Structure 1
Amino acid sequence: MATQLPRWAWAQAAVRHDPFRLGVASGDPVHDGVVLWTRVLPPADLAGAHAPWVGPLTVRWELADDAQFRHIVQQGTAMALPELGHSVHVEVAGLRPDRWYHYRFMLGDATSPVGRTRTAPAPDALPGRLRLVFA
């Protein structure tokens, strides 16, 4: 029994520009999850007036154990809403603690740069070293 739709079922029209020009980010790590972020931008010459960029956009995301995405751990879709500047925030849960993951976003045939994120140590863990960055 198939549990996933074929690629053609959720593919959107070809994207002729880089909608992920602002890149990707992650943060708010907990022992079993992280938040993934991106913002979808319209073509620079449209200034937000082109019809497909006025409404919500469906963005796909993938989280994998490896940078080549041979072992995808989780995947899904998220809405990029115009009232939020077409920003996408995905709260991923059910991950393993203290582990590196790779993630990316897709819109139509465009793929974002690959980001790398890490979950926090388990609540009962005593790591020898812990670095946190706040911006």
Structure 2
Amino acid sequence: MRKKMAKLGLGAAAVTALTLTTATSASAATILGLGTGAGACPANYVCLWADGDFVSGSPAGKFGSIAANQNVGDMGKLQRSGALWSGMQDEASSVVNNTGSSICFYEHNGYGGAQFRIGPWEKWPSVPSWINDRISSFTYC
């Protein structure tokens, strides 16, 4: 019985590890790892993929994809130890804005450097070359 409970606890921990939640709001969340395609982006989230055409990165240590319904000031902090997750810092090549607000993506952490702005409900299968693999933070703007 103890072994079964331990396995259940490990399974729950693995599922919980896929979603990071901030302490500031019960509804603020960042989801690590999405499916392929713009349709994988949940309603009211901003989504980023490591490769163009809304495809997760190769398993060679790339993060793959994320979705967030909050500002993210440091994409380097979005990591999961082990497995294939090594962070989303300077990895994004395609983005979806599934919100009713404009989103500003920045070259540096803390919303600094070059800015790439997209409007509500926009989908970019390939971000411009000057910001490709350079997004470090983003905010509602």
TM-score grouping bracket, smaller chain normalisation: under 0.3
TM-score by length of 1: 0.26
Relative contact order (alpha carbons < 8 A, sep ≥ 6): 1 or 2 greater?
A: 1
Q: By percentage of residues, which structure has more helix?
A: 2
TM-score by length of 2: 0.25
